Amino acid sequence: MSNTPEHVHCLIIGSGPAGYTAAIYAARANMKPVLYTGKEPGGQLTITNEVENYPGYPEGVLGPQMMEDFKNQALRFETDIRYELISKVDFSSFPRKVWSETGHEIHADAVIIATGASAKWLGLESEQKLMNKGVSACAVCDGFFFRGQEVAVVGAGDTAAEEATYLAKLCTKVHLLVRRDQMRASKIMQERVMNTPNIQIHWNTVTEEILGEEGVTGVRVKNVQTGAVTEIPVTGFFVAIGHKPNTEIFEGIIDMDDNKYIKTVPGRTYTNVEGVFACGDAQDNYYRQAVTAAGTGCMAALDAERYLAAKGKI
């Protein structure tokens, strides 16, 4: 790319369900969108196995294949897709300025942020090795594959509580591994966990290793108070220690909540910066589903279209 700034009507940052859906709508509205994929083209779904809860795929679909389908649909309407990262933005003037990792400068009339979020991981080697082979960060996505089996969930916040109660409906037993002697989750969620007979809470317990070669066979845990090391036989291991929205480059520029999720106007995708819209997991700490991300991606494109039309840009 040259160093001359490039002018675009609609710049989309991110390539998960939100970004690609925004691209499909923007392209069909003749906004000639340019989409930067970021470091992980296709987003979180590319590290998922089977997706069975996305409407329109009655037989289910592999996460990476689904994102390939999203991409091809965006390409069909001539979205300009670039496999690069946006590393810097300046939203202090019009048009909005954005730079790619290679230093290419883009001036955009409207910007759609769809940078998503990433699950936090424990950082164990065995966790990497068994990813999608029993290790998951999404009970709603993968819980079904473990029905009738025994699983473990690590974490002690609302996500862990929610995942554990969700899994308890499908699995024979859920071991909740809590590293301290208390949970961070809200009282009501904790009560729900405590009142579910097939959830066993292991207090003061840290995960030492996830066991298994081709699939999870168990987890080795240590009680940090007694020092006792035990093995729990499970076939599924769910990491629920939080998510991190990919919003670093917008810090101090766009309004965010305490967890760095972008704030949008309820029912809309407007951020506090005019002409900058946010969709998908970058602004949703609550639903975090592919289908809800796609829905807000559509909303962002429609909001951007109305904005650009009102400004006489398209």
| Ranges within 265-304 binding ligand NDP (CB under 6 A) | 285
CB of 177 to ligand NDP, least distance (A): 7
Q: Residue 162 interacts with ligand NDP (CB under 6 A)?
A: yes
138 given a catalytic annotation: yes
Is residue 10 part of the annotated active site? The answer reads no
Length of the chain: 314
How far is residue 119's CA from residue 96's CA, in Å, rounded to a whole number?
29
Query: By CB under 6 A, is residue 156 in contact with ligand NDP?
Result: yes
Catalytic residue, candidates 10, 138, 171, 298: 138
Is 154 strand, coil or helix? strand
**Distances, alpha carbon 229 to alpha carbons 169, 173, 206, 271, in Å:** 28, 20, 10, 49
184 binds ligand NDP (CB under 6 A): yes
Residue 260 near ligand NDP by CB under 6 A: no
Q: Where does 29-90 have alpha helices with state H?
A: 63-76
Q: Binding to ligand NDP by residue 137, rule CB under 6 A?
A: no
Of 200, 198, 208, 203, which is closest to residue 230 (Cα–Cα)? 208
Q: Where in 190-209 is the site for ligand NDP (CB under 6 A)?
A: none
Residue 245 binds ligand NDP (CB under 6 A): no
Tokens of 145: 């594959």
Torsion angle in degrees (nearest 10) through CA of 127, 133, 139, 145: -160
Query: Which of 248, 259, 274, 311 is in the footprint of ligand NDP by CB under 6 A?
Result: 259
- Residue numbers annotated as active site: 138, 141-142
Q: Which positions touch ligand NDP (CB under 6 A)?
A: 122, 154-160, 162, 179-180, 184, 241-243, 259, 285
